[in-house]
Structure 1
Amino acid sequence: MAKRKKPLTCPVCKQKFSHSAKSHPMKRMSKHLWSKHKPYMIKQQKSGQRKKKKPKQIATEMELADDLLLMAILEIGERLDSLEGKPIQHRNAMGMLIEHVGSLAKRSIAGEKPKKPLQQALFGSLYSGGWEKRQKK
């Protein structure tokens, strides 16, 4: 039984060519398109890049807010042993906030004073206490 050659048609030039069963038709078509119709393929790539999902502005803003909260949390209390050496992901930010505020509440109930006031520690990177200085004047 002889090997059967399967026909392929180029979508650009409508040229017919065949491939054997050993070579994949997509590979053969891609090779032809890149060698004979390079501008067409570049145009296809750019159109795909235009159509892909772009990150929403709110998502980037939330990541920035998460970063500010995480930095403030890490300044307030001791860094937890379980977090050392692990990268902090943005989806864990609220869990960390709740965990650290809970530990601060436990310490305040026990009578320990925090190193910094909570408000300044949480939002210090946002205003650096500037409004308090202006109010005192």
Structure 2
Amino acid sequence: MSFENALLDGIEQIVDHLTAHTWNSIIPAFLITGAIAVFLFKDAVLKYFSSSTNRFVSYTIASVSGVILAVCSCVIIPLFAGIRRRGAGIGPATTFLYSGPAINIMALAFRGGVLVSGQPFAYEKLRSMVEERIGRK
């Protein structure tokens, strides 16, 4: 295989990968963001995510609302922009941005499968995450 053929094959693989992810994830994310902008009333966003809301309530709702979304980190950005544009505070919106991909149903299923399989690195990672969170106040 020549260098040119390898290069063309690599470019073809990149285009195939980007095309598949664009149709399967990015476009639905933009549609969901548009639906948030059109159908979600500003009062609903401000009720839970504004700076005047109790911090505990707004951060808790922002951190667990990613469970119902099975999205990756590239898809959560338009959703973050949508709720931010509707008036959410930067703190709850950023919490949603970071927690959404980490706690979605697919990520939880994968982590559970790794933990059940008995991989020692998974237990070490879980232990270090818990210790880090406990250490911060």
Pairwise same-fold verdict (TM > 0.5):
no
Structure showing the higher strand proportion among its residues: 1
TM-score by length of 2: 0.29
Higher relative contact order (CA 8 A, sep 6+): 2
Give the TM-score normalised by the residue count of structure 1: 0.29
Q: Which structure is higher in helix share?
A: 2
